[in-house]
Homo-oligomer: A and B are copies of this chain.
Amino acid sequence: MAQRKIGIIGVGKIAVDQHIPAIRASADWDLHATANLVPVPVDGVAHTLTDYHDLLANADIEAVAICTPPQVRHRIARQAIAAGKHVLIEKPPAASLSALVDLSHAARSAGVTLFTAWHSQYNKAVDAAVAELANSAIKRLKITWKEDVRHWHPGQTWIWRAGGFGVFDPGINALSIITRILPQPLFVTAANLAFPSNCDSPIAAELSFASAAGEPGEEMSAVFDFRQTGPQSWDIDIETFDGRSLLLSSGGTKLAINGTSVIDAAPAEYPAMYARFADLIASRASLVDDGPFRLVADAFMLGRRTLVEPFYD
């Protein structure tokens, strides 16, 4: 099959670290152009653009990956859909749920593929957890997502602005894993959100969940923290009512069942994600998963806010 020409809009850290290598390593894709306010030349890429309108105007380009900060994703995605491009959107897929719903309608009307790319859903250990938990009732769920924001998000000032999501930017990855692996929907019942006194988004959060069934004795919670120095934690710890335990660790790349490691793979999320994008286009389908995003919006809507010490990058 011929490679599909793709363009990347917004060439920041995530595009450089993940999207560009995944696209270039894939037989499905040809990275044909990039667009970024400050031009970012990439070896072998035909067009290095600064105005994404020029990228959208290029008829050779069949698909785009939108990797800008979330605040501008809707506008760009709307224009890309109107230009007839298939669209992959980095997580979170828009600045608001209502904007995502609008994109979903727009893509359906235009007959193009829209793909909400929750990258953490694309590890083998996550696939294995889905299989292991099918038809299980979950007794205990504990998400621990603690990382050093200065290391992973250096100078990303947009993350601290209102609508920048703060610690939910990584935390939504954990939520995207649990919405994929749990056999029953769950939802936020309470949240505590810690806002630095000089920031408009939270640096830490604690969430309580309930399953839709509301099983007596279930305990489900998450803790997200951007202030973790030293060892970093991206763990999901699960116990079922029938006595099994699962530990998904290292951001969903390792899985242990009842204390025994069953998968310990290098992260390979983005290649699997781009393979899925190609499959979706080939089958003329969209995949718009708003579940993780809805949980975040619910946490903000339900959350108690506390002020904590100011944050300086």
A75 to B297, CA, bound (A): 20
Which B residues are in CB contact (< 8 Å) with A303? 162
CA distance A3 to B27 in the complex (A): 66
Is A154 close to B, CB under 8 A? no
A97 touches B294 (CB 8 A): yes
Quick check: B185 and A101 within 8 Å, CB to CB?
A: yes
> Which of A51-68 touch B at CB < 8 Å?
none
Partner of A98, one of B165, B200, B295: B295
Of A30-38, A42-50, A187-195, A274-282, the one contacting chain B is A187-195
Q: Report B-chain residues with C-beta under 8 Å of the C-beta of A200.
A: 304-305
A69 to chain B, nearest CB (A): 13
In the complex, per-residue mask of A183-223: 1 if CB is within 8 Å of any chain B CB, else 0: 00111111100010000100000000000101000000000
- Are A102 and B305 also in contact (CB < 8 A) when A75-B214, A97-B97, A214-B75 are? no
Q: Least Cβ distance of A303 to chain B in Å?
A: 6
Residue of B nearest to A296 (CB): B301
Q: In whole angstroms, what is the CA distance A122 to B62 when docked? A: 45
Task: Answer yes or no: A308 CB below 8 A from chain B CBs.
Answer: no
Question: CB < 8 Å: which of B189, B195, B214 contacts A95?
Answer: B189
Are B101 and A294 within 8 A (Cβ)? yes
Distance of A2 Cα from B161 Cα, bound (Å): 57
Contact, CB under 8 Å: A188 / B301: no
A229 to chain B, nearest CB (A): 27
In the complex, whether A78 has a CB less than 8 A from a CB of chain B is yes
Is A302's beta carbon under 8 Å from chain B? yes
Inter-chain contacts of A212 with B (CB < 8 A): 78, 99, 102, 106
Question: Is residue A240 within 8 Å, beta carbon to beta carbon, of the partner chain?
Answer: no
A179 → chain B closest CB, angstroms = 9
Given A185-B101, A188-B98, A294-B97, decide whether A301 and B304 contact each other with a Cβ distance below 8 A: no
A65 CB, min distance to chain B CBs, angstroms: 22
The residues in A between 284 and 312 inclusive whose CB is less than 8 angstroms from any CB of B are 291, 294-298, 300-305
Choice from B78, B99, B162 contacting A304 with Cβ under 8 Å: B162
> How far is B78's CA from A296's CA once the two chains are assembled, in angstroms?
22
Given A97-B97, A162-B190, A294-B297, 10 more pairs with CB closer than 8 A:
A78-B214, A96-B187, A96-B298, A97-B301, A98-B186, A99-B187, A162-B302, A162-B303, A200-B305, A297-B298
Residues of A within 8 A of B (CB): 74-75, 78, 95-99, 101-102, 105-106, 162-163, 165, 185-191, 195, 200, 212, 214, 291, 294-298, 300-305
